[in-house]
Amino acid sequence: MAGTVLVTGGSGYIAGFTIRQLIAEGWTVRTTIRSLSREAEVRGWLGVDNDRLSFFAADLISDDGWAEASTGCSHVAHLASPLPAGAVKHEDDLIVPAREGALRALRFARDAAVQRVVMTSSVAAIAYGHPPGQTTFTEADWSDPAAASTGAYPRSKTIAERAARDWIAAEGGALEMVTVNPSLVLGPVLAPDFSASVEVIKRLLSGSLPGLPPLGFGVVDVRDVADLHVRALTAPGIAGERFIASGRFMTMAAVAQVLRDRLGDQAAKVPTRRLPGWVLRVVALFDPMVRQITGEIGRTRATPATHAHDVLGWTPRPAEETIVDTAESLIERGVVKV
């Protein structure tokens, strides 16, 4: 089945690959960007059939443009949400647009008689604020936004997804909603303006990290995350479901080893020395960005995608392939000099 779908946040990392797949599968795609002055640029790096792609100006914190973008759509993929590249001045800078943007997308979708909204959430809405002994998390888990260890980004994703689900229950009518909850999204970049999540590989390749901190994350490919969104748009009988999009949990040391093993001389700047956790804690006293991740030191947050595999037949590609493709893309585009 292919109808007309609105993809919000069309200049975003996951959105770009989602738009590409949707058009390849026969959908007519509408997408939102904050300013139409970027339309030509975004069309250029998407490289798709322009006759089946149209742009609308809309912002997460304003009603302007949403009715026009939504009217006539059978489905919505709500991918637009703030992802900080560094420390934020106030958590509301993330929470307010994430929550209000989700509610705005749902409200206009309902009013336009859209069948289903697939919303991008995150494992950040699943795996934070739990006791240190818990190392594996599923779709049944929810992050605790009130916990002191839950940072601004996990808090924003949890509050936004909770608010969206509460709204659907109270006011959604016949509108269905499904969420996709990715872990750390890596993969090839389409443009120099790439996602903050790719900074991990950029910093390792460029040698800007003095060593390898005791941190880790689930790795998932942006192409596979896009594919899960597309599957979730039309699969029957999944209203209200959550789907984790993640591969295996990897430490920074393991990611660095993949780069060295697979890239040879191009990985010459990748650090080999491991940093003890106390070093990060000292740096955090002076660096607000580092302060946000001290709760991750030594933690394992495995988020198996068993549910997405069992229900939607989704299987992510090997993490090693994703890591190498990310690195080669950054090198090819000149983002990293090796």
Active site residues: 157
Distance CA 278, CA 284 (A): 10
Distance CA 31, CA 53 (A): 8
Distance CA 179, CA 25 (A): 21
Distance CA 147, CA 239 (A): 29
Can you read off the two tokens belonging to residue 94? 């993330």
Percent helix, percent strand, percent coil in the chain, to nearest 5: 45, 15, 40
Of residues 329, 138, 157, the one with CA closest to residue 241 = 138
| Contact (CB, 8 A) for 89 and 151 | no
The three-class DSSP label of residue 151 is: coil
Of residues 77, 117, 119, the one with CA closest to residue 99 = 119
Distance CA 59, CA 64 (A): 7
Q: What stretches of the chain show up as alpha helix (H) in DSSP?
A: 13-24, 39-46, 66-70, 92-111, 152-171, 199-206, 222-234, 252-263, 277-284, 288-291, 306-312, 319-332
What is the residue whose two structure tokens read 């939102």? 32
Can you read off the two tokens belonging to residue 323? 């890591």
Of residues 183, 189, 221, 216, the one with CA closest to residue 202 = 189
Neighbours of 83 (CB within 10 A): 17
